[in-house]
Amino acid sequence: MLTRNDLALVLASSSPRRRDLLTEAGYAFQVVPADVEEIEDPTLDVEELVRRNAVLKAQAIAGRFPESIVIGSDTLVALDGVALGKPKDLDEAFGMLSRLVGRTHIVLTGVCLIRASDGVEKLFVEETRVTFRPLGPDQIRRYLGMIHPLDKAGSYAAQEHGDFIIERTEGSWTNVVGLPMEKLAAALATF
């Protein structure tokens, strides 16, 4: 029987959160960030966006590592069906969090696994509901001072002072962090 370390894995992401999740789960892997321009098409629904971007990232790396399983992933926050990506600056981060406080939103992560040598490709999307605490402007500014929001979808990090802003989650916690490990482990087990 194969173990987690018997799989040749390549993470097509520079995300330290994804790297930490894979390491904590006991996987051995290489990190080779996909240098691609993510699709940001407002005419596509959020689920389709994370799907397409996950595929784009995995395909960008798969040809270079044909015997490995390449993991491409993309996470977005959706509020009222609108994608909230990474903010451009602190003002935009403040605006995003102001829209999220006291409400429930959805975190969607698309994951694409490709092994080019035999043409195996698996694609799935995980969805988690997240409810934020009702916070005032000063509390939002305080939270933004605790983290670096500019590289995070929706301007927040569940794993960094998440208890300050998150009231509850429904679904995969690791999905909110950036990689749905439960579903990923099940998909990898099929290889």
| Summary mean pLDDT of the chain | 93
Q: Note the pLDDT of residue 25.
A: 95
| Domain spans of the chain, in order of start | 4-188
Burial of 67 from C-beta contacts in 10 A (0-12 / 13-18 / 19+): exposed
pLDDT digits (tens, 9 = 90+) for 89-107: 999 999 999 999 999 999 9
Please list the alpha-helical segments (H only) found in 67-136: 90-100
pLDDT digits (tens, 9 = 90+) for 128-137: 999 999 999 9
pLDDT of 124 strictly over 60:
yes
pLDDT digits (tens, 9 = 90+) for 12-41: 999 999 999 999 999 999 999 999 999 988
Active site residues: 74
* CATH code of domain 4-188: 3.90.950.10
pTM across the whole model: 0.91
